[in-house]
Amino acid sequence: MAYLSGLKEDKMTKEAFDSSVHEREKLNTFDNALKQFDIAAKILNISENQIAMIKEPRRITEVKLPVRMDDGSIKIFTAYRVQHSVARGPAKGGIRFHPDVTVDEVKALAFWMTYKCAVVGIPMSGGKGGVVVDPSKLSKSELERLSRRYFAELLDLFGENKDVPAPDVNTNPQIMGWMMDTYSMHHQQYLPGVITGKPLEIGGSAGRASATAQGMVFCVREAAKHLKIDLKSSTVAIQGYGNAGSFAAKLLHEDGCKIVAISDIDGAFYDENGILPEEAIKHVAKNKTLKGFEKVSKAKRMDDPMELLELDVDILVPAALENQITKENAKRVKAKLIAECANGPLTPKADETVTRNGIFIIPDILCNAGGVTVSYLEWVQNRMGYYWAEERVLEDLERIITNSFKTVLETSLEYKVNMRVAAFIVAISRVTKAAEIRGLYA
């Protein structure tokens, strides 16, 4: 199985894992997302008409992007933008650059964004975009031309009241800045509200960089209270050491947790005495990945990076890509608590196994909603033209995430279902109500 936390595959791991099962599940990412919806919709007993209004994407756009390369040649890139819903507000969701992007993946991610926004109660809906590209193979100027071309080709979709993108896998504030500038130049206005996750200098929000991980930590704190887990004596394993994973390690360490394992595309590293997150962050800043981390720390390189998911730890944080825990390895997961910092890290079959084994899951649409929550706060600040200090942003984020966790937990106990089903019950109820109030324009 490919260890999917970056741009390339770990060949040794692929041979060591039953990849045929994983690939089969990976191809059905959107079907997996719909299965989660169906379970909650059945419990809510909503009608077929209600389901028809909120289940499938409203718009799927595929474009071919011609981009001139530095050598003068023209290369064509396939790109997507999916708007799942606009029932509760403009579509909201990131743009990812990755060689494995598929339309089904983007549909699933847009679907999750609709219900992620709903579960935390922010007035936005779901969208997602992607370009099939390995950005590590592009120069900075080629990356800028690709980014601007994407936004220019899809210009009619975007707008602060229509569809508001953000960074995702392999995109960053600089890319958001290029896209915002492209949109502003076409409209001959300064329009920062069209996109979030921008640099602070052009309308970004304080607290945005750590928001996904910070929201996850607020959820973990509440879950630990519920499960009576002492964070100061807890062990943590984190799969993925990009923005979300590295901030997750830093913030959980500050809460007293011991980070015993971390990983990225270039390997997994374990130290039973604890890894210092800042040490790993500095190494990645210098070397781009964790490769060689065992040479500058006391951590040992694990033979199979996927074994990180099976370590006997209190808290497991999947912070890479989708479908990392499947029906094949789910039975070997030993953590007491799984905090889904990534989107869709468990397949439905894995979810069943892990839940049956008594492991508490904080589902992705709640656990990693910190990013979209602060993106919403950035959008609000852009529209006001007034910007808040980081303390104000974090106060709002903590209030929104903590209250949302409590609502989902109460729903879980009321309906006697796991947290994922409970989160969808809360979210589907809100989206259904909005769709019914708006009615059907004919």
Is residue 24 over pLDDT 50?
no
Band (19; pLDDT cuts 50, 70, 90) = very low
Least Cα distance to 254 among 239, 232, 282 occurs for: 232
Domain limits, the chain: 60-202, 205-442
What would the mean pLDDT of 71-96 be, rounded to a whole number? 98
Compute the half-sphere exposure of residue 73: CA atoms within 13 Å on the CB side of its CA.
3
- Residue 13 pLDDT grade (very low, low, confident, very high; cuts 50, 70, 90): very low
Q: What is the pLDDT of residue 50?
A: 94
Q: Of 133, 146, 183, 182, whose CA–CA distance to 67 is shortest?
A: 146
pLDDT category, 7, cuts 50, 70, 90?
A: very low
Distance CA 121, CA 435 (A): 15
26: helix, strand or coil: helix
pLDDT of residue 428: 97
Show which residues are catalytic: 128
Q: Which of 412, 418, 224, 422 is nearest to 315 (CA)?
A: 224
Lowest mean pLDDT among 23-27, 83-87, 281-285, 301-305: 23-27
Decide if 213 contacts 181 (C-beta within 8 A): no
Asked whether residue 26 carries a pLDDT value surpassing 90, the answer given is no
Contacts of 41 by beta carbon, 8 Å cutoff, 6+ apart:
51, 55, 424, 428
- Which top CATH class is 205-442? alpha beta
Give the residue-averaged pLDDT of 10-36: 55
Quote the pLDDT of residue 322: 85
pTM, full prediction: 0.90
**Domain pair 60-202 / 205-442, same fold:** yes
Residues 416 and 204: their CA atoms lie apart, in Å, by 41
Residue-wise DSSP of 137-198: GS-HHHHHHHHHHHHHHTGGG-BTTTEEEEE-TT--HHHHHHHHHHHHHHHTS--GGG--S-
Q: State how far the Cα of 408 lies from the Cα of 429, in Å rounded to an integer.
A: 12
Report the share of the chain in percent with pLDDT over 90: 89
Topology of domain 60-202 in CATH is Rossmann fold (3.40.50)
Please determine, for residue 11, whether its predicted confidence score (pLDDT) is greater than 50. no
Phi, psi dihedral angles at 246 (to 5 degrees): -70, -40
pLDDT value at residue 6: 34
Q: What percent of the chain is modeled with pLDDT above 70?
A: 94
Q: Which of 105, 367, 432, 28 is nearest to 222 (CA)?
A: 367
| Residue 20 pLDDT grade (very low, low, confident, very high; cuts 50, 70, 90) | very low
User: pLDDT higher for 60 or 5?
Assistant: 60
Q: What single letter denotes the amino acid at residue 297?
A: S
